[in-house]
Chains A and B, each alone.
Chain A
Amino acid sequence: MTVTAFPIGLLISTAGPYAEASTGMLAGALLAVEAVNAGPLPVRLVPRFGDPRGELARYAALGDEMLAAGVRHVVGCYTSSSRKEIIPQFEKADALLWYPSHYEGFESSPNVVYTGPVANQHLLPLADYLVRHVGQTAFCVGSNYIWAWENNRVMRDAMAAAGGTVLAERYFAVGSTDFDQVIAAILAERPAFVFNTLIGVSSYRFVRDLRAACGRRGLDQPAVLPVASCTLSEPELAAIGPGAMDGHITSSVYFASLASPENDRFRAAYAARHPGGPAVSADAEATYVAVMLLAQALAAAGTDEIGAVKAAVGRQVLRAPGGEVAIDPETMHAALTPRIGRSNAAGQFDILAEAPAPVRADPYLIGSASRFGALAPRPRLRIAS
């Protein structure tokens, strides 16, 4: 058997406002690279690292360097703005970006494989769960960019479809940490829940400050003003800190606490590779999955020419830690298993509900919304606890 070495790029920030999440991505990627290189597939991955440190301009510069060096497959980017920044370069060079993060959808570049969830796999199940089990009024707080804008638009439509209301939407610059005013507004409005699309340090500070403000008023925040999101992960719970990490509702296709043989093996390997952390997270798992799928597709194609790899990845099925993952050849998005979890004081998530099988991605919501964007009823997640 001929073993072929392929260069791949890892374009992942380990500093900057969302480093807690993206550091996990790098940890997952490294674990997968080493697993592939020690494993039975006839490929060896030769990673080239680039750390944009969360700066948009550095994504473009580092991406260019990778492509100029002959790299045809790059795994990385966390925010949509960073992905959109480098897609033109990838299209020009006919290279493939393997994008592992959850995102808002409404994109299907021929030069991207999307292995993270889109709205019908994270936000719609969350909205559905919240209106059924938590309440009918939402207060939206987000970082001022596309992730929050579009998620809040979908949340508003989803709430309206369920007879609920979004009371307010407030946006803050990425990295903001002053939330006194909005917390006062939330306490005055008393929504059934807060929908949090803040990212990184803003999110952690907001959650801590909300918990403290509720405490000062004698309110049990997780019970009366739960914070829901599609992003909060285990390393971020650690960043929030022990006083405020519990009771938050998250929609995700992966939680470290999932009970399955694949996840047990993944957690054990991850802990052995990264004993000092970051904690296992959805971002780590998704990036691990992206690299594993890339390796399988390279092996099946026998080349890193992107047409052949794209054709091959559509035929791959991966028994991933979060369940079976397959890429839809039509949209190049992954079928994934939606789940709802609630954080606990141990920094993990208790799983509240999950889909019985992987759900196909619907990046343009053509199967989930009416022509005017109203959201159709969805199959409910199975209540797990």
Chain B
Amino acid sequence: MTERRLIQNFRGMRAILWAGPDFAPDTLDRTLARLGVETARMEEVDLAGLDRDRDVLFIDGDQPLAPEVVLAPGSALPLVPGIGIVGIEAPSRLKLLTEAGVTALLRKPVHAATVYSALFLGVNNFRRLRAMETRLAEGERRRNGRRFVIKAVVALVRGQGLDDDEAYARLRRESMRRRLELEEFCEALLLEGGGTIPAGWPTVSREPMDHRHATYPDDDGRRDGVADADGGPCGGPDQARRA
């Protein structure tokens, strides 16, 4: 895996402050402005329109807080990077910030000299954790598909008299040729053959896998840290995901 590049300039980002009415935002606003970050209040924004490449949440842990409001579906992380603002250091309040998936803290009263560090850690830790979540989900999905690979190998060994290494190599070669993951390819192949390898394979004329799209609902692995404005190190999305 290529080294994840760190964001160090936050200009153009938007800080969304989720805080109670008694929070004094002056130092935070002023310091963020120096960093080129605009600010908005939580009640002014539509959560559905948040952009994790642009937005960052500052969450005041001292207010009544329902962490699930900001969590991304199926994730332990918020929709966008979250930075906790801690006044009362009671476990009950810290627990809520943890549940909201914050990846950095600011202590009250907010001190100008800590804001850049909190942004740096909050945004970059979020990106790192999110990439790990994506990789875990992908690993899990592939693990679930391994049984189709085993079935396809067994079917080839039985049906075409290959040994298991040869059968595996052939499946792998064919999946790569079709630019499909091995697991997806084997699943589709078995589906097409009604639980076994279609007769005459691999000279089938029709591409299997019409029933699934070859991309994934979460495309973040491609976006985060790969296709950035600096043209970072990148082997192309196919190589990165399929190798």
| A→B interface (CB under 8 Å) | 87, 91, 106-110, 330-331, 363-367, 369-374
Contacts and interface: CB of A to CB of B under 8 A. Distances in A.
Nearest to B123: A371
B112 interface: yes
Interface string B1-28: 0000111111110000000000000010
Given A331-B34, A364-B36, 12 more contacts: A108-B112, A330-B33, A365-B9, A370-B230, A371-B9, A372-B5, A372-B9, A372-B229, A372-B232, A373-B6, A373-B8, A373-B9
B18 to A, nearest CB: 23
Nearest to A161: B230
B34 A108 contact: yes
Contacts of B166: none
15 contacts: A87-B113, A110-B112, A330-B33, A364-B9, A364-B35, A364-B36, A366-B9, A367-B11, A370-B229, A371-B229, A372-B7, A372-B9, A372-B228, A372-B232, A373-B8
A107 B10 CA distance: 15
Most buried by A among B5, B11, B36, B111: B11
Contacts, number: 56
Chain A residues touching B, majority SS: loop
B106 to A, nearest CB: 16
Contacts of A91: 111
A110 B6 CA distance: 27
A365 B116 CA distance: 12
Given A108-B34, A330-B33, A364-B34, A371 B7 contact: yes
A373 B10 CA distance: 10
A123 to B, nearest CB: 15
Q: How large is the interface on B (under 10, 10 to 19, 20 to 34, 35 or more residues)?
A: 20 to 34
B31 interface: yes
Contacts of B27: 110
Contacts of A330: 33-34
Contacts of B8: 365, 369, 371-373
B69 to A, nearest CB: 27
Most buried by A among B7, B34, B111, B112: B34
Nearest to B113: A109
Interface in B28-66: 31, 33-36
Most buried by A among B33, B35, B113, B228: B113
Interface string B205-243: 000000000000000000000001110100000000000
Contacts of B230: 370, 372, 374
B115 to A, nearest CB: 9
A107 B112 CA distance: 9
Contacts of B11: 366-367, 371
A366 B10 contact: yes
B112 A109 contact: yes
Contacts of A373: 6, 8-9
A374 B230 CA distance: 7
Contacts of A372: 5-9, 228-230, 232
A370 B112 contact: no
B228 to A, nearest CB: 6
Contacts of A108: 31, 34, 112-113
A369 B232 CA distance: 14
Contacts of A365: 8-9
A91 B27 CA distance: 13
Nearest to A332: B34
A91 B229 CA distance: 38
Nearest to B31: A108
A286 to B, nearest CB: 22
B10 A371 contact: yes
B94 to A, nearest CB: 25
Contacts of B7: 371-372
B53 to A, nearest CB: 9
Most buried by B among A87, A109, A374: A374
A366 B36 contact: yes
Contacts of B228: 371-372
A232 B31 CA distance: 33
A310 B21 CA distance: 29
Nearest to A368: B9
Nearest to B37: A366
Shortest 9 CB-CB distances between A and B: which pairs?
A366-B11, A366-B36, A373-B8, A374-B230, A372-B5, A371-B9, A369-B9, A371-B7, A372-B230
Contact of B35 (A109, A366, A370, A374): A366
Most buried by B among A106, A107, A331, A364: A364
A371 B112 CA distance: 21
A108 B111 CA distance: 11
A99 to B, nearest CB: 14
